[in-house]
Structure 1
Amino acid sequence: MRWLALLPWAALTAHTAVNALLLRRPGPAAASSERIAVLLPVRDEAERVGACLESLLAQRGTPDLTIYVLDDGSTDGTAEVVRSLAGDLAGDKVRLLTGAPLPDGWLGKPHACQQLADAVADAGVLSFVDADVVLEPEAIAAAVAELRRAGVGLLSPYPKITGAGRLVQPLLQWSWLTFLPLRAMERSPRPSLAAAGGQWLVVDAEAYRRAGGHAAVRTEILEDIALARAVKRTGGRIALADGSRLATCRMYDSWAELTAGYTKSLWASFGSRSGAGAVVVILLFLYAFPPLATVVLTSAGASSWAAIALATYLLGVTGRVVAARATGGRAWPDALAHPLSIVLFARLVARSFRLRARGGLTWRGRPV
């Protein structure tokens, strides 16, 4: 009977496996006849925007695609990089906009994205892309085809994440594969049942406007999830997809950058301090406690319970491997350190709330 204690871990790992099988995977698509606008907000991205823009210019199967770039007050020559790469295509294929000053009541990224959307007159699909994303040549066509095939208003194809943070970054995909019922999320009209990644979003233009665009989420630090909820709130549907074969995203180059990036937003991920505390405690119990319990129980001679604790740890590792395989991540040996990943995540959550309480959160030179 004591082996019944494994049920919560077994159920979560099984759910991860089911979601991995059900996860949408955009594949090769015929050329799209739709008018598509790719919207690229940039702020001090001179070192990254080149690779991103080159990949956008190399898109295939999208003959009616226009790239809109908004320079949001860069001071590092980002606009000059864009002009150089656009060359003769400037003004036609690539349109470089200068961002307006940030008004009161807006955060920077929602304001930049709204300005980009306002500059588009007649596109049927809007594809928001961050400057640290590099797309494969068929990526936009495949994502638009999947948007239409799924019949949703917003599709979030998660790129393959590279760069710093091998222990922490994969927790993003692992978390929604483990805890979020993907097909139920697509069918349910509940805005609370939503997830999205702002690195790359593909949105039906009509659904975007009906949701109020980024103006509806102007104060949200997690504007991607807030926009997905706004789409659902106004009658649209959303879907997640594995975009690891179509795009890569180098979010952070160092642990310091990752810490700053996570700290600015984690406080907004749980609804409240008490909600965050509950989630962190549950995660620590489920995934960080088992290896410690295995050692303690083995030392105490409780071999049966030690075996159960070891089995819970291995189930957690298995879930992490399944998530990595499903989303283009690195499975080994990283999955073995899953408990450490959870501990590091808990520390980042605590740091985020601490700095939020002190009013010390900033990003790209602006207060959060």
Structure 2
Amino acid sequence: MTGGFAGAAVAVSVTGLAIATVNAVAVPRLRADGPVTEPVTVCIPARNEADTLPGLIADLRAQRDVPDLRVLVLDDDSDDTTAAAARVAANGDDRFTIESGAGDPPPGWLGKPRACARLAELTGHRDGILVFLDADVRLAPHALAAAAGALRRLRVDLLSPWPYQVTVTPAERLMQPLLCWSWFAAAPLPIANRSTRPSMAVACGQFLVFDAGAYRAVGGHRSVASCVAEDLELARVLRRSGRRTAVAVAGELASCRMYSSAAQLRDGHGRWLWTQFGSPAGAAAVLGIAALGYTIGPALARPRQWGLVAFGCAVTSRLLARRAESGRRLTARDRVEAASHPLSVAGLTALTLDSHLRRRAGSITWKGRPLPGSCAE
């Protein structure tokens, strides 16, 4: 690969590094802002989360500077002891309400949007700030106060605090850091966080913080009832209505371990990757560019120095993303994982192809439920 191809490989990786460098300086970070003066309602959809939910409830009971806090947990027709585990963890704390869902979601709904919509109904139209948390998120004592403060400080209707993605197994270490890097090296936040363009929205459903009135004004999760990637689509719905959304890094105050095995990782990514990039052709185009800049391009570029430049830019952008996401100094493991970036991008390509094939075969499920349809279609 010589001449124009090698130059294109360098151009892709240099552009990613330039955006990541800007974001390393400009990305909003959660910080303790003092007591929250308005109501904060936390909603937790939980399906088969008996092992993870008690930890989050303990973290929520320990939150500081949120005097008007209410927490709603919905056991979404679990097959395990999620509801019982939640009640034990709440230990009679009157700020907590644990409800149980019944049966699968109705036609036109997927499980998580339906559970979130039901939780929103249970809030009784409380004013203030509405927070949705996944059961596997962990919070430091000032996390909610910091998130609420950032929502108001940034003057947005949705803030997505990005938790630090905890990785343990080799598959997690290879793939999970790409979640943050994929937007950190692609979306210049000084523009993206101020824009109302749906295409520039960034959101992570693990931790979503809404102005309660804005959430209800756009229909909340009812507006994304059939969406596999309901978090990102809800951000886009808000932007289409002229409202602003933003992403902030929250690794110093929030973390999440999404998957604990390669099989879970495959299923978890497989349920939504087919919705990315608009269509199979769009996925092929985006992944082709990624291959040019991060896998095949650097490997085949001639002269060899061009490939080394592309590789160095890719690793550096990956390190900048991980440093921002974690909020701490980089470790030797972070550096090793960043050096495996070409393998990570190749793995993403494989997972995306697998997701499309499973979608065509109608074999995608999540937590025991099929995932038919998507608002992305």
Find the residue that maps to 1:326 and give its secondary structure: helix
Letter in 1 for 2:292: F
Equivalent position of 1:302 in the other structure: none
1:87 to 76, 87, 91: 91
Structure 1 Cα separation of the partners of residues 273 and 20 of structure 2: 23
Which residues of structure 2 form unaligned runs of 5+? 372-377
1:357 alignment partner in structure 2: 360
- 1:133 maps onto 2:118 in alignment: no
Asked whether 1:65 is paired with 2:69, we answer yes
SS of the residue corresponding to residue 314 of structure 2 reads helix
Specify which of 146, 161, 170 is matched with residue 150 of structure 2.
146
Q: CA deviation at 1:235?
A: 2.1
181-190 or 280-289: bigger deviation: 181-190
TM-score computed with the length of structure 2 as normaliser: 0.92
Match of 2:239 in 1: 232
Aligned length: 357
| Letter of the structure 2 residue corresponding to residue 149 of structure 1 | R
Q: Is the 8 A contact 1:211 1:233 kept in 2?
A: no
1:269: Cα distance to partner?
Answer: 1.4
For 1:283-331, what per-residue CA distance to the aligned partner results, in whole angstroms no more than 9, with x for missing partners?
Answer: 111100244226xx5xxxxxxx111111111111111111111111763
Which deviations, in whole Å up to 9, do the C-alpha atoms of 1:132-155 show, x marking residues without a partner?
001000000000000000000000
**2:99 is aligned with 1:97:** yes
Matched to 2:275, the amino acid is A
Shift of 1:20: 1.5
Tell me how far apart the structure 1 counterparts of residues 244 and 162 of structure 2 sit (CA, whole Å).
17
- Asked if the contact 1:24–1:241 (Cα under 8 Å) also holds between the matched residues in 2, the reply is yes
Matched, 1:43 2:41: no
Give me the whole-angstrom Cα distance separating, in 2, the residues matched to 1:338 and 1:9. Answer: 12
Q: Residue type of the partner of 1:354?
A: L
In structure 1, give the amino acid aligned to 2:270. T
CA distance in structure 2 between the partners assigned to 1:8 and 1:97 by the alignment: 49
CA contact (8 A) 1:290 1:310 kept: no
Q: Distance in 2 between matches of 1:7 and 1:236?
A: 34
C-alpha deviation, 1:77, in angstroms: 0.5
Question: CA–CA distance in 2 between the matches of 1:8 and 1:118?
Answer: 46
Paired residues for 1:111-130 under 5 Å: 111-121=114-124, 122-130=126-134
List aligned pairs for 1:154-165, cutoff 5 A: 154-163=158-167, 164=169, 165=172
Aligned AA for 1:307?
Q
Secondary structure of 2:86's partner? helix
Deviation at 1:88, TM superposition (A): 2.0
Q: Higher relative contact order by CA 8 Å / sep ≥ 6: 1 or 2? A: 2
| Structure 2: distance between partners of 1:228 and 1:314 | 33
DSSP-derived class of the 2:43 partner? strand
Residues 210 and 231 of structure 1 are in contact (CA less than 8 Å); yes or no, is this contact kept in structure 2?
no
CA displacement at 1:75 relative to structure 2: 1.7
Match of 2:304 in 1: 306
Go from structure 1 to structure 2 and tell me whether the alpha carbon gap of 1:153 and 1:109 turns closer, same or farther (over 3 Å shift): same
Structure 1 residues 365 and 8: CA distance shift in structure 2, 3 A: closer
| CA root-mean-square deviation | 1.6
- AA of the residue aligned to 1:157: P
Structure 1, gaps ≥5 residues long? 298-304
C-alpha distance in 2 between matches for 1:223 and 1:291: 35
Which residue identity does 1:141 align to in structure 2? A
> Is it true that 1:168 corresponds to 2:160 in the alignment?
no
* C-alpha displacement of 1:187: 2.2
How many Å apart are 1:192 and its aligned residue?
2.2
Residue 218 (1) aligns with residue 225 (2): yes
Q: Residue 315 of structure 1 aligns with which residue?
A: 313
Q: Which amino acid aligns with 1:345?
A: L
Query: Aligned with 1:20: secondary structure?
Result: helix
Deviation at 1:217, TM superposition (A): 0.2
Could you say what secondary structure the match of 1:46 adopts?
coil
* 1:4 Cα deviation from its structure 2 partner: 6.3
- Counterpart of 2:374? none
Flag the 1:247–1:234 CA change in 2: closer, same or farther, 3 A: same
